[in-house]
Structures are given as C-alpha cells and as structure tokens.
C-alpha cells in the first residue's frame, strides 16, 4: 500500500467534516490521503491518473472564508499535505527559509527563536497554524514590508498533474547557488502559474525573510468620516510611493474592530440585527475607537524611524484624529503609568494595549489567534479556547476587491460594501489594506451564525450581490473562494491561455477541477 492505513481516511464522518466550510458546500469527498513526502504525492497523482479520480490538495486547510478544506468539485480525494512539515533549508546570512506545505507560521517562528535568528516572517492575520505555502499560493498578504507573500518566494518544487516533478527558476539546476535567492532563473518564468491555480501541487518553496530592524514603531490613528478616509488614503499612497512607508497599512471600520473585541451585543441590541446605530455609537465610545481605525509601522534605524515619524505626522496632520506612535518602550512605560497616561492623553491605554498588542505583533510578523475571534461574532455561545470555525457553525464569507489606492476609490468601495451588507441584514465589516504602493485591498467580511435557519442562504445571496456590485463598479477580487470560482468564467484571451495550459498539463483533469478553472 502506498500510504499506511492510518493515512488513508474513508470514515464518512471525517469525510463529511472535511467537505464542510464556513458556508454551505455541496461537493462530497471520496477519501482523504495524507502523504508524507513529495514521492508519495507523486505516487498519489499517478494512481489518480490511472483511475481518473480527481485530487484536491490542501496544505493546512485553514482557508476559512474561502472554502476551508472543501473541494471545488464533487467526488474528489482530498490530499492533505499537513504531514509534510520539514524545514528543508535555512540561511541567516541570505535571509531565507525553504519549507514543505505542512510547515506552519508557528513552526517557523519557533524554529527561528531556537536559533536566536534575527529574521522575521510575514504572518497572515489568520491562525498561527496556517501553512506558509498554502497562504502564499493563494497570494495572501501580511503586515510587514514583505506583505505580498507570493512576491517574496522563489524556487518552487511542484508535482505536476501527471506526477512529474518540476522546479522553477534556477531550482532546476542541482548546483545553482542562486536558486533560493533569485526569482527568475532564465527562460519563461512559470512560478505564477502555480499560484491561485489547479496546475500543480507545490511541495516545497523558498520564502525570503526580513531582517529585524534596529528600531520598530507602530502607529495608530482614526478617521471620523468619509472626508478623512478619502484624504488619508491619498496621503498614505504618497507615503508609500515615496518609500517612507514600506509596509501594508491597515484601516478597519468600527464593525471590523468591534468584532475583534467582543461578540455581538445581543442584550444591548435586544436581539435585533443588524447592529443598531445607537448601540454601535455607544460601543465606539466605550472601547474608544473610531469610525475608521488605521494602523501601520515604521522600520529602520532609530533615526530612520524618527524621520519617518516626522514625515508621517506632517502628512497625516488634519486628516486623522488621535495619531499615536507606540513601541515596546512606550508600552512598558504606559503600562506602568496607565492612569497618568489616560489623564494626559485621554486614551485608556490599559484596555487599548490589550487590543493593540496582537496588531503590533502582526506588524512584526508574529502570528496571532486574535483576529480569528471575530468569526464568532454572531454566535451566541462564547468563543471556545480552541477555535475551529468549520466545526463551530461560524458563518464566514470573504470578498476582497482591489482598487487604485486613492481616496475616491476607497469611498466607492466602502459605500458598496456598507449598502449591500446592511440591505441583507449583516454588519459591514471592512478592512482596507495598502497592498502595494498603488493598490488598495478592501476585505469585506460577511459573518453570521450558521445555526440560525435561513442565514446560510441569505449570506450566500449577499455574497453574490456584493461580488457583482463590486465588479459592476470596476473592482475585482484579489482572490476567490470556492463560493466564487464562477467569477473565473467568461470568454477572454486570458481564460483561453489558462484553459489551453490546463488541458496540456493536466489532460485527465485530475487536479482540483473547478479551482481557478475558467469554464
């Protein structure tokens, strides 16, 4: 037998659980295979070709809001790569790490700590147990200057849909020193084909790591209204284009922030949904956050950070309220003198620090469970210690359109998200991220309680209306979940190329049919 019996799962309950997600799913699984090596992955693929059984590979399977582990087509065998947890290569000097798909954010953090490394990863705001490869291949993002995950990788090792192995860039040469540090190699660059695709199973990948700067300082601010949001996005774009800001800035609205602090205030709202405006206003005052809440960070030498602070202050002056700079020293100080600090600044630091610490961690590449709590927003049970949104009936759908980073576009995006979600009775949780010098991502969250009858349908309708609303207005998502793979469909030259390549590389259509698969 190819894998030991304990690594081939056919128990119907297990299969059913694995085929579920944070929204309704329809496709069932035939089995779950847990290969331990690329050779076993290759063997799985060869067998699948022989029998014509489609495979659906996952890394850690924590793709919550986009489909979790659930397959994009019926009758698939799930290939769970979670056992492939080897850290294959590491260089402190050249600042990279090469990992397998089962390697998680926490595992790398521990690996680096054990070596007293000065290197950071760029973490996603999801779970510390997320796979690095899984997230990068979905082109996820984080909060340090290495925020664009896929752009900071190279040397992919890929099991092709026929079972052959391919290495990208210089990785195809056994003796190429530059394989882990130079993306392109020579000849056509094929790395991109294996992101957001069903064209291969990535079994190894090199991630570039960021050396910890001498000095790190976070900053926080608020915008009270659309005018301020408009102006601050324009200011942040200029700061990023000019190189003063190097990381993905983040601006969350009040709903987004509140859902990270507590669950839905059922009693204050007298059971009504969506959240009444006056209740929200009370909560904004209680927790002391604004309509829009921004965070970012400065990295460099002490003087570089000081100069960046000066520039940021000048650029945001008049466009934001309560601009605050925070670092470890100030936090330690503030913790000791929280009462005094409050008196002087009007800010309840003790409480704020609890909320701010995980955010500051993320800006240093330290993963946190904290944002995941928001998935339990509408649930009436308390958030369990070991969170599992799939198991716990958490309803979650994400839609993340991209726009040019201008105030005008930010407001257009926010208005579409707000009006659509409210019209379906959901709180419009919105977070803007400066994905690059020019691009603004707008992750809109639909979160609900799957245990409430009718909510699944309403949420899916809302998702569809939201996606279509964004697209009609000219905003397309940076990523798709299995709930939205039909957005790939259509007749255009790009789809013709992708279809041609799919047919050529995967003649038996073995690999993840329906996943980023234009019809």
Count of CA atoms in the C-beta half-sphere (13 A) of 470:
26
How many whole angstroms separate alpha carbon 343 and alpha carbon 404? 40
DSSP alpha helix (H) spans, 21-61:
38-51
Phi-psi region of 190 (alpha: psi -120 to 50; beta: other; left: phi over 0): alpha
* Least CB distance to its own copies at residue 290 (A): 27
* Least CB distance to its own copies at residue 173 (A): 6
Cβ closest to its own copies, residue 37 vs residue 189: 189
Q: Are 200 and 166 in contact (CB under 8 A)?
A: yes
20, 125, 211 from 392: Cα distances, Å: 11, 20, 38
Cβ closest to its own copies, residue 257 vs residue 485: 485
* Least CB distance to its own copies at residue 57 (A): 15
255, 275, 296, 429, 442 from 284: Cα distances, Å: 9, 13, 21, 14, 22
H or E element: which one contains 448? strand 439-449
Q: Are 474 and 408 in contact (CB under 8 A)?
A: no
* Least CB distance to its own copies at residue 232 (A): 16
* Least CB distance to its own copies at residue 251 (A): 18
* Least CB distance to its own copies at residue 95 (A): 6
User: Of 88, 33, 92, 26, nearest to 58 (Cα)?
Assistant: 33
Cβ closest to its own copies, residue 10 vs residue 492: 492
Q: Two tokens at 414?
A: 């926010």
DSSP states of 295-358 as a string?
Answer: EEEEEESHHHHHHHHHHHHHHHTTTSEEEEEE-HHHHHHHHHTHHHHHHHHS--HHHHHHHHHH
Cβ closest to its own copies, residue 123 vs residue 159: 159
Cβ closest to its own copies, residue 362 vs residue 512: 512
* Least CB distance to its own copies at residue 511 (A): 12
How many whole angstroms separate alpha carbon 237 and alpha carbon 245? 9
* Least CB distance to its own copies at residue 301 (A): 6
Cβ closest to its own copies, residue 403 vs residue 462: 403
Cβ closest to its own copies, residue 168 vs residue 228: 168
Please, which residues bridge with residue 295 across strands? 220, 250
40, 70, 116, 190 from 45: Cα distances, Å: 9, 19, 39, 21
Cβ closest to its own copies, residue 323 vs residue 488: 488
């Amino acid at each position: 037998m190819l894998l030991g019996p304990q690594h081939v799962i056919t128990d119907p309950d297990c299969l059913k659980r694995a085929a579920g997600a944070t929204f309704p799913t329809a496709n069932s699984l035939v089995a779950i295979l847990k290969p331990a090596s690329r050779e076993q992955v290759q063997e799985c693929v060869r067998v699948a070709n022989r029998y014509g059984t489609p495979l659906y590979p996952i890394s850690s399977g924590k793709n919550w809001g986009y489909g979790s582990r659930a397959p994009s087509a019926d009758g698939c065998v799930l290939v769970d790569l979670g056992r492939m947890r080897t850290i294959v290569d590491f260089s402190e000097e050249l600042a990279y790490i090469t990992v397998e798909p089962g390697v998680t954010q926490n595992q790398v953090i521990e690996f680096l700590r054990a070596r007293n490394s000065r290197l950071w990863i760029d973490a996603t705001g999801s779970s510390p147990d997320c796979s690095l490869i899984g997230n990068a291949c979905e082109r996820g993002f984080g909060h340090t200057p290495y925020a664009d995950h896929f752009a900071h990788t190279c040397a992919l090792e890929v099991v092709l849909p026929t079972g052959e192995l391919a290495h990208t860039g210089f990785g195809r040469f056994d003796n190429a020193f530059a394989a882990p540090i130079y993306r392109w190699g020579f000849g056509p660059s094929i790395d991109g084909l294996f992101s957001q695709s069903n064209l291969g199973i990535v079994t190894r990948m090199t991630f570039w790591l960021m050396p910890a700067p001498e000095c790190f300082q976070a900053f926080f601010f608020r915008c009270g209204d659309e005018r301020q949001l408009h102006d601050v996005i324009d200011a942040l774009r200029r700061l990023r284009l000019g190189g003063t800001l190097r990381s993905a800035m983040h601006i969350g609205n009040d709903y987004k922030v509140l859902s990270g602090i507590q669950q839905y205030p059922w009693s204050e709202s007298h059971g009504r949904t969506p959240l009444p405006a006056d209740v929200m206003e009370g909560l904004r005052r209680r927790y002391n956050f604004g309509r829009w809440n921004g965070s970012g960070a400065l990295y460099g030498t002490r003087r570089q950070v000081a100069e960046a602070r000066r520039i940021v202050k000048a650029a945001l002056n008049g466009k934001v309220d309560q601009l605050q700079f925070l670092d470890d020293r100030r936090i330690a100080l503030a913790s000791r003198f929280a009462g005094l600090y409050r008196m002087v600044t009007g800010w309840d630091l003790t409480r704020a620090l609890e909320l701010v610490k995980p955010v500051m961690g993320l800006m240093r590449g330290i993963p946190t469970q904290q944002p995941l709590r928001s998935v339990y927003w509408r649930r009436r049970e308390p958030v369990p210690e070991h969170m599992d949104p799939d198991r716990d009936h958490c309803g979650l759908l994400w839609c993340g359109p991209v726009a040019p980073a201008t105030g005008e576009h930010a407001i257009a995006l926010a208005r579409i998200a707000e009006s659509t979600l409210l019209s379906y009775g959901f709180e419009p949780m919105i977070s803007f991220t400066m994905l690059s010098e020019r691009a603004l991502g707008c992750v809109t969250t639909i979160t609900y309680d799957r245990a409430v009858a009718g909510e699944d349908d309403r949420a899916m309708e809302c998702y569809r209306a939201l996606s279509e609303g964004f697209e009609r207005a000219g905003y397309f998502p940076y990523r798709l979940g299995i709930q939205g793979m039909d957005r790939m469909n259509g007749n255009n030259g790009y789809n013709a190329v992708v279809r041609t390549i799919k047919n050529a590389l995967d003649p038996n259509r073995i690999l993840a049919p329906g996943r980023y698969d234009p019809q």
